[in-house]
Structures are given as structure tokens and as C-alpha cells.
Amino acid sequence: MTYKEWITKTVGKFQLSADDVDLILCNQSGLIPDPDAPVDVRKAKTAICREFTTLIPLANIGEGGYSISWNWDAIKLWYNATCTELGITPAGKPKIRNKSNVW
């Protein structure tokens, strides 16, 4: 399985399009130089986590009787669990710093 196939299947859960996959691969070309190479799952997950906050839609979609809702708790759980697995600090998580030496 290639990076492109793996990422396509993984982000498909979040209703992201093929254009979004291409955007991930383009923005993360330093990490994944060849999208058709055999997948290293750790690198692929890292690429998704780095791009995740820019890919999730910011507005709810609703039209007439049709609407799309997201299970935000599940999305946050997946994102935080993947970041923890990779040792990445999730975007938006407050950083705790020791400032006791300032007193």
C-alpha cells in the first residue's frame, strides 16, 4: 500500500476529498517525498496530524432538510490519541511551563 492510498483510506472517515489528500501530500513533501512509495505508517500519521487542523471544516453545513454533523468527540479522541502515539503536542493544547524561578 502506498502513502496516497493509506492516507486516502484513513481520512475518508472524516469525509475529506482526494484534493485534501493531495494537499496533505504536497504540504508534507519534506516528510513524504514520494506519495507512491510503500507506506511507513508512522510518517503517514505524522503528516495527517500536522495538517489535521487545516483540513477539518470550520462551519457546519446545512441546506434545507439536509445537514452534516460531526462527532467532534470522536475526532478529538482520534487526533489526541494519534498525537500521543507519535509524541506530538496536539495543536491548541496549552503548554505548562515552570516559572517558579521568576519569583
Please determine, for residue 9, whether its predicted confidence score (pLDDT) is greater than 90. Answer: yes
Note the pLDDT tens digit of each residue in 20-42. 899 999 999 999 999 999 999 99
Residue 42 and residue 87: Cα distance in Å, rounded? 11
How far lies 44's CA from each of 18, 35, 57, in Å? 15, 10, 21
Domain containing 51: what range?
A: 3-56+69-90
Q: Is residue 15 part of a domain?
A: yes
Evaluate whether residue 30 is within a structural domain. Answer: yes
Give the model confidence (pLDDT) of 53-78 as tens digits. 777 665 566 667 677 677 778 888 88
Q: Does any domain span residue 96?
A: no
pLDDT, position 57? 61
The Cα 35–Cα 2 span in angstroms is: 7
**pLDDT confidence of residue 52:** 81
Residue 103 in any domain: the answer is no
Q: Is 62 part of a structural domain of the chain?
A: no
Domains of the chain: total: 1
List, in sequence order, the alpha helices (H) in the chain.
3-11, 18-27, 41-55, 72-86
Q: Is the pLDDT of residue 79 over 80?
A: yes
**The predicted structure's pLDDT at residue 103:** 65
